[in-house]
Structure 1
């Protein structure tokens, strides 16, 4: 298994890449903020509803839309995200049933509440693709490099369609496919591996691009040829976390990914 310590120099240029697997939120579209807001609204409501006797006062702090989103829930299924958040606050709730209505009494009820909140926010605030996405995908296609978009979210395909970029990928693996195929969310690399499998490109000749620490950790675990952390906000703290979790390179945009992974950029 590859580790951050035994991988080659982060500044290396990989010339044998034949595929790129992109996460969606924060990499291709500006939807990460909306997802973080949905998580905050859902779990903060439940923190307020639970009696103080359930946890120590220091554990009752609200959901942080940067640290908690990236560190606890981003890239995971809703169920696993709720479990991670509850554990961070010293809480345990019954698992519940798949059909639980949105609420705060079970893990699945909180997951349903986050899902409903997200759908409402996406209806109110349609997402957009970042400006570099279309030219970069066009360049990859021109060079014969295949591309996949993957996400643990069941709405990822809809997000890509709304953003006008769904048809630019050779394949898309979203949360509904992940459920059907029993693919775990990050840091498990199952989604990335499924994307590479559908591209018919081995992981060693495939790059992974993700904005979340758990995502780059998944790419590193699976031995992908290049693991790129996407740090569009140019946060030094986030860059450090991405490197710590296994990123070979941390770049501000997808053009940086091409320069790092293919050693060239021939943009419009």
Structure 2
């Protein structure tokens, strides 16, 4: 089926934010008197929405209101630390603009909340905003459930099979598979093996590499 839309995860895919998220999770856990294996925590939470993340951290079904208050505290710390050193994943804005110029729709499917999305787009230098943004605070389950990506496709008015998802995390790659979408692994924090799957078209360290390899031209022509 013809490729019609690209759907991007945000943290670790569009913006190089995962090292700061890692740091702030560790600092928040310490502030709560929790000793955690940060590698294991990141494996279990990257791609999940805020409430799900806090329940994973505390290993308890804490009330949603408490989880939201905790995530607000944690994410405010993240934004204060990442803001002065904000960076997009290399080549992202240029890649998205190239795709838009080719006639492909651009969507975002992130577990991030409204505050983090607004923060990211206040710093990104995109010539054109994405057509749709689906967030993790809209009442949808986080990844690996496919709901966020399926909702992005619905709002874009395209079928899942017409979408390619760009993801940096295994839970996101799995969500794309469950959504019936193909995917591209962006290797900012995981290896090609960790982001592999029968639906994965490519793996690249960043978007500059995809531009250099002419990924869009080859993929779009192949499906045209």
Bigger radius of gyration: 1
C-alpha distance in 1 between matches for 2:161 and 2:142:
20
C-alpha distance in 2 between matches for 1:212 and 1:221:
15
Tell me the equivalent position of 1:56: none
Tell me the equivalent position of 1:230: 186
In structure 1, stretches of 5+ residues that fail to align are: 1-14, 49-59, 88-92, 101-107
Contact 1:186 1:214 in 2 (8 A): yes
Tell me the equivalent position of 1:74: 46
Q: Write the mapping of 1:72-221 to structure 2, written as runs, cut at 5 A.
A: 72-87=44-59, 93=60, 95-96=62-63, 98=65, 100=66, 108=67, 112-126=69-83, 127-154=86-113, 155-165=116-126, 167-176=128-137, 178=138, 182-221=139-178
> How much has 1:138 moved relative to structure 2?
1.5
Q: When the two structures are aligned, how many residues end up with a matched partner?
A: 214
> How much has 1:218 moved relative to structure 2?
0.4
Quickly say closer, same or farther: Cα 1:261–1:86, change in 2 above 3 A.
Answer: farther
Residues 45-98 of structure 1 show CA distances to partners (whole Å, capped at 9, x for unaligned) of 3344xxxxxxxxxxx5x332x5531x11111112211233444xxxxx452351
Alignment of 1:27 onto 2:13? yes
Tell me the equivalent position of 2:202: 249
CA root-mean-square deviation:
2.7
Contact 2:54 2:70 in 1 (8 A): no
Residues 187-223 of structure 1 show CA distances to partners (whole Å, capped at 9, x for unaligned) of 0111111111121111101100111100000000111
C-alpha distance in 1 between matches for 2:120 and 2:97:
20
C-alpha distance in 1 between matches for 2:64 and 2:192:
38
C-alpha distance in 2 between matches for 1:153 and 1:190:
14
C-alpha distance in 1 between matches for 2:133 and 2:4:
17
Quickly say closer, same or farther: Cα 1:63–1:44, change in 2 above 3 A.
Answer: farther
